[in-house]
Amino acid sequence: MKSFSRKLLEWYNPTNRNLPWKKTNDAYKIWLSEIILQQTRVEQGTPYYLAFVKQYPTVKRLANAPLDDVLKLWEGLGYYSRARNLHFASKQIMQLHNGKFPETHAEILQLKGIGNYTAAAISSFAYNLPHAVLDGNVYRVLSRVFGIETPIDSTIGKSTFQKLADDLLDKRNPSVYNQAIMDFGAIMCKPQNPLCENCPFSSECKALQLDKINLLPIKSKKLIKTERHFHYFVLYDSKNIYISQRTENDIWNGLFEFPVEEVNDQWSIDNSDFIKKIDPQSSIINQPLSYKQTLSHQYINGYFHEISVKKLPKLDKSYLKIKKSDILNYAFPKIIRSYLENRLIFIS
Ligand code: SF4
């Protein structure tokens, strides 16, 4: 469809979504915004983008920052591997490119945490290079307008859609075109209730003609979520409290938490290995407080056992004894932050 680009650009109004990163062609800032916005809504991501630009205005400042500080600023945004990769890639830019953000698609693609979509977004938005973006918005628009039923999460689907996206790209102005198609997916061709009545493609859109709007795009794999149960031990005395850092190759790597036991439904506090390390007779163990968090692929149940002791017992080095007044300086997963927001006054 030759007129696709023309119609799209006629529809596009740069002020439709007045986002702070649209006003810059600084590749570093565009990179920050793209990583922050992966799997994150614009309203949630915008304050994080502004905070990162303020605290780390250059690649060098980000590369020189301790990872724990970067994770702390990222706290609450989820998918923490993005923050770790961002930090790692900033060091790559310092080492491989003398601190200057790379200017070719191939070099950008070499950076940790950057895939085809992000490389295309940065190289087109910052340098106007002819690389077509293909994100969830673009998959949805193309599958609906052209009636493509190939699953978007299959190898053949990915290459089919990428080829079509490349063919449709307005090579004279890839930056505007890429922005236009992403805005179009976000504003007009929304996942639910797309605005077909006002759509410039309504006369040719296959999904509209064939009444398949709610079926497209097609995904072949159904996501199966697992359920996990974390029992946290909030062990504290009048001054200090124990926390530990997650180091396993698992969710929330690098974040902090309370001493924890991950268990199945059958768990009882009487069988807890952690409780055996302390003297439960001298402690007050409240009924656990329950919190939940839903991740993209897991349901997390957190049970917080508050244990107040006169003097903290000595635990091994994997546990960190910190001042209670310092606790908010550490980056915690959302489920623990929610708990702290409600209970800090009681444990401090
Ligand atoms: S007609 Fe509806 S489904 Fe088709 S592209 Fe336009 S908004 Fe999307």
In a domain, 215, yes or no: no
| Ligand 1: nearest atom to the Cα of 199 | 6
Element (H, E) at 107: helix 105-109
pLDDT tier at 14, thresholds 50, 70, 90: confident
CATH code of the domain containing 71: 1.10.340.30
Reduced DSSP (H G I as helix, E B as strand, rest coil) percent helix, strand, coil of the chain, to 5: 45, 15, 40
pLDDT of residue 29: 97
Whether residue 122 is predicted with pLDDT greater than 80 in this model: the reply is yes
Is 306 designated active site? Answer: no
Q: What is the DSSP letter of 248?
A: S
Compute the residue count for the chain.
348
Whether 188 and 66 map to the same domain: the answer is yes
In a domain, 214, yes or no: no
Whether 177 and 237 map to the same domain: the answer is no
User: What is the best residue among 10, 201, 204, 212 to mutate for testing ligand 1's pocket, by most ligand atoms within 8 Å of CB?
Assistant: 201
Tens of pLDDT, residue by residue over 145-163, are 999 999 999 999 999 999 9
For the chain, the domain total comes to 2
In a domain, 148, yes or no: yes
Question: Average pLDDT of 69-88?
Answer: 95
- The residue from 153, 174, 209 where one domain ends is 209
User: What is the best residue among 137, 182, 188, 203 to mutate for testing ligand 1's pocket, by most ligand atoms within 8 Å of CB?
Assistant: 188
| Ligand 1: nearest atom to the Cα of 195 | 7
Q: Which domain holds residue 106?
A: 3-209
Whether residue 316 is predicted with pLDDT greater than 80 in this model: the reply is yes
Distance, CA of 127 to CA of 104 (rounded, Å): 8
* Active-site residue (options: 34, 75, 257, 306): 34
Start-to-end CA span in the chain (Å) = 65
| Weakest-pLDDT range from 104-108, 183-187, 198-202, 344-348 | 344-348
Question: Average pLDDT of 87-104?
Answer: 97
Question: Average pLDDT of 249-266?
Answer: 90
Question: Average pLDDT of 192-200?
Answer: 96
How remote is the CA of residue 309 from the centroid of ligand 1, in Å?
62
Whether residue 347 is predicted with pLDDT greater than 80 in this model: the reply is no
Whether 127 and 16 map to the same domain: the answer is yes
| Ligand 1: nearest atom to the Cα of 196 | 2
In 3D space, the residue among 134, 151, 159 whose CA is nearest the CA of residue 216 turns out to be 151
In a domain, 274, yes or no: yes
Whether 204 and 238 map to the same domain: the answer is no
Q: Are 334 and 252 in contact (CB under 8 A)?
A: no
pLDDT of residue 299: 95
Q: How many percent of the chain have pLDDT more than 90?
A: 79
- Does the beta carbon of 144 sit less than 6 angstroms from any atom of ligand 1? yes
Whether residue 266 is predicted with pLDDT greater than 90 in this model: the reply is no
Tens of pLDDT, residue by residue over 205-250, are 999 999 999 999 999 877 788 999 999 999 999 999 999 999 988 9
Distance of CA 60 to the CA centre of its chain: 23
pLDDT tier at 3, thresholds 50, 70, 90: confident
pLDDT of residue 129: 97
Q: pTM value?
A: 0.81
Question: Average pLDDT of 169-184?
Answer: 95
- The residue from 164, 179, 209 where one domain ends is 209
Question: Average pLDDT of 313-321?
Answer: 92
Pull the structure tokens for residue 95.
Answer: 């080492």
